[in-house]
Amino acid sequence: MRKGMDLGADDYIMKPFTRRELLQAIQTRLEKQLMLERLAQEKMSSLQMNVSSILPHELLNPLSIILGYSELMLDREQQVNPMQIRGIAQDINQAAQRLLRLIQNYLLFNELGLAFSDKNKMNSIRSSRVVSSWVTISEISSVKARQENREQDLKINLVDAPLKISEVYLQNIMEEILENAFKFSPPGRSIEISGDLLPQKSSYQIRVVDYGQGISEEQIKNIMGYSDSGRSFMELQNLGIGLLLVKRLVDIHGGELFLTSVPEKSTVVEVILPLA
């Protein structure tokens, strides 16, 4: 009996059993599954409302930069030298890149939300594999550190393993986590990335630690989707929808997301994904 439970059985019926006992056990499992599906749908609806509340503010920030600088360059009364033009062009380009990324994240967030009600889509997503977690995580982390000019701050210690997630989605997860880690920690502070096997869960744990400003317990609850109202997300404009997207990607692959933080000291993000 213990072996059966360890292998993943939800229930165990001893012989001899009656027809009524067997049907009751099946009915109980079906009711529990329906409850889990309903709870998952409620959580997705809550996340959708939260994202809708913060997205306009996220879009306005880079858009205001683009409009402001373009109007400055169009104003004939303003004398702008070539060096200033180059700096303005760089700022416009960065703002446009951020705007593009926000739109892409929002489209992906909605696409994943629709997948929860489409079993064929879910099966397709969950059938993807990453051959080497070490290669994918190391590459995207190094690129991100180079973009932020913080290669010296990056510390990587990964055990290699194949994972039940596509390379693109794993890159999405790491990009969003590292975006916040670099953004909210000052240069010179370490960004630590580790990856370890969890044999008892047939899973792989990715852990990212930054030593920056941290976030409050209330913000963590909101990010994890426990807020009943999207109104509180007005306070999370700087965090954006990145961590919400991470949560949805982790959920859809049957994984787990943990977020802990000590304000003004450190933030730890842990992602647990199934092994291939």
Domain spans, the chain: 2-43, 44-121, 125-274
CATH 3.30.565.10 matches 125-274:
yes
Of all helices (H) and strands (E), which one includes residue 11?
none
3-class secondary structure, 186? coil
pLDDT at 237: 44
| Among the ranges given (6-15, 171-180, 220-229), the one the predictor scored with the smallest mean pLDDT | 220-229
Q: What is the band of 105 on the pLDDT scale with cuts at 50, 70, 90?
A: confident
Fold of 44-121: Helix Hairpins (1.10.287)
Can you give the pTM of this predicted structure?
A: 0.66
User: Phi and psi for 184 in degrees, rounded to 5?
Assistant: -105, 15
pLDDT value of position 165: 93
Q: How far apart are CA 245 and CA 51, in angstroms?
A: 9
